[in-house]
Amino acid sequence: MSEENTVFVGKKPAMAYVLAVVTQVNQGAPEIKLKARGKAISRAVDVAEIVRNKFVQDLAVSGIIISTEEVQGEEGSAPLKVSAIEISLKK
């Protein structure tokens, strides 16, 4: 699957990402992945739930993966570990 069908959820309001997912669905994407790290994980779950409950009722969660990623901190410091989530949505 290409990165095109992936929405990276960050610090914007959830509706910004909801709109991105709905747009991709309307453009015919067969599967969409929501990716988030750290505190944005809660928002990614919000986005998935809002899309499914309010906008695209026939979209289902086809898989959820959690993992740990390393993020480079300030120069010279050890890399930070941060939790990540990947939520796959499919018609």
Tokens of 28: 């015919």
- In the complex, the smallest distance separating the C-beta of residue 75 from a second copy, rounded to whole angstroms, is 25
- In the complex, the smallest distance separating the C-beta of residue 31 from a second copy, rounded to whole angstroms, is 16
48 touches a second copy by CB under 8 A: yes
| DSSP E strand boundaries for the chain | 6-8, 31-37, 60-71, 80-90
One residue of 1, 15, 60, 64 binding a second copy per CB under 8 A: 64
45 touches a second copy by CB under 8 A: yes
Residue whose C-alpha is closest to residue 40's, from 69, 63, 62, 61:
69
Please count the residues of the chain.
Answer: 91
- Binding residues for a second copy, rule: CB under 8 A, are 38-42, 45-46, 48-49, 53, 61, 64, 66-68, 83-85, 87
